[in-house]
Amino acid sequence: MTTPETTTPVISKDMRAVVPSGPGGADVLTLVTRPTPTPGPGQVLIATAYAGVNRHDIGQRTRGVPPKGATDVFGLEVSGKIVAVGDGVSPLRVGEEVCALINGGGYADYSIAENGLALARPKGQTLRESAGLPEGLFTCWFNVVELGRLSAGNWLLVHGGTSGVGSLTIQVAKLLGARVIATAGSDEKRAACESFGADRAVNYRSEDFVAAVQEATGGHGADVILDMVGGIYAERNLAAVAMDGRIMHISGQAPAWSSPLRLIMEKRAVVSGSLLRPLPLERKLKIAAALKERVWPAIGTAVKPVIDSVFPLNEAAEAHRRLETSRHIGKILLQPTR
């Protein structure tokens, strides 16, 4: 945590921001000039140092419109310095370096965050590293720990182990004493999963992950599965899950999920999932409190953000293209340079 400023920061009247010119591919991303937003009650204004690039951004770009009531500026997580606060927020926060989960607006020079979701930059971590934390940690904690009820000694199967969410989930699960199996699409990525702490990593292009799970767990299966692939894994996940296991979905990008009810009944499985962005603020604040207590002290030691690459704000289209290749390992970031 940095020492707050003793003087009032200079805030530009206008800012650069990335919005879509319409629905479509990466080419629709457009750099525009917008008025710098003003924080409302309970909010802070952050001078954006880095912004995370997520699959949700690609979904919003493809649709061409944000969720109802949200800004059309992309970006769900940022790091930077608080430069202004709204009513009800201590002015002592001005000058503090933070990373934050936000409801859009990250691909810009300035972004608005709810005060309770702007978490102090972890000790020893740079703003670059900190920007890779919020979306992945909130997603992991809510789905794997809260909904999935992961506990010490459980087996966790993480699909997409080298994604921003996957890389953090492996590390958080190990922090909690769980055992982890991760899938990835190449031998390089399989090795990366093992470097993050996975007990077993599977190249799904050359191995059967169901067989690997059963072998690693001695036939027990995975107690919790975090799936960011979708419908094509429905039956295979149920073959890999343990009795009374939990399967948590965080993406619907693959073909529609077909419910194999017989397999669910045979395993007494709980199949669920979530969308983080529309989660009520009160629930997000509870997750933030849990992360500050349970994970924040371990960041930099047991839990380290993995950064794949950084692109200038005006190259947001290239950042999206990088994400869509699925060749990345860890988080892709944008960096506004003022």
In a domain, 328, yes or no: yes
Q: Which residues pair with 78 in a beta bridge?
A: 51, 100
Could you tell me if 156 and 187 lie in one domain? yes
In a domain, 299, yes or no: no
Could you tell me if 121 and 161 lie in one domain? no
Could you tell me if 318 and 249 lie in one domain? no
In a domain, 289, yes or no: no
Could you tell me if 153 and 255 lie in one domain? yes
Could you tell me if 143 and 181 lie in one domain? yes
The pLDDT value recorded for residue 262 is 84
* Angle, helices 55-63/316-325, rounded to nearest 10 degrees: 110
Could you tell me if 223 and 158 lie in one domain? yes
Could you tell me if 269 and 140 lie in one domain? yes
* Tens of pLDDT, residue by residue, the chain (338 residues): 455 555 678 999 999 999 999 999 999 999 999 999 999 999 999 999 999 999 999 999 999 999 999 999 999 999 999 999 999 999 999 999 999 999 999 999 999 999 999 999 999 999 999 999 999 999 999 999 999 999 999 999 999 999 999 999 999 999 999 999 999 999 999 999 999 999 999 999 999 999 999 999 999 999 999 998 876 888 899 999 999 999 999 976 655 556 678 888 889 999 988 999 999 999 999 999 999 999 999 999 999 999 999 999 999 999 999 999 999 999 999 999 86
In a domain, 176, yes or no: yes
Residue 206 CB-density burial (10 A; 0-12 exposed, 13-18 middle, 19+ buried): exposed
Structure tokens of 139? 């997603």
Could you tell me if 140 and 268 lie in one domain? yes
What CATH number should be reported for the domain holding residue 250? 3.40.50.720
What CATH number should be reported for the domain holding residue 28? 3.90.180.10
Q: Give Cα 3 to chain centroid, integer Å.
A: 28
CA–CA distance, 236 with 227 (Å, rounded to integer): 11
Work out how many domains the chain is built from and give that number. Answer: 2
The pLDDT value recorded for residue 3 is 52
Q: Give the range of the structural domain holding residue 317, as residue numbers without chain letter.
A: 14-133+305-335
CA 66 to each of CA 25, 44, 239, 241, 261: distance values in angstroms, whole numbers, following the listed order: 15, 21, 36, 35, 34
Give CA torsion, residues 288, 293, 297, 299, to 10 deg: -30
Structure tokens of 21? 């010119």
Structure tokens of 190? 């399989």
CA–CA distance, 96 with 127 (Å, rounded to integer): 11
In a domain, 55, yes or no: yes
Could you tell me if 203 and 74 lie in one domain? no
- Amino acid identity at 54: N
Structure tokens of 200? 């077993």
In a domain, 280, yes or no: no
Domain boundary among 258, 273, 288: 273
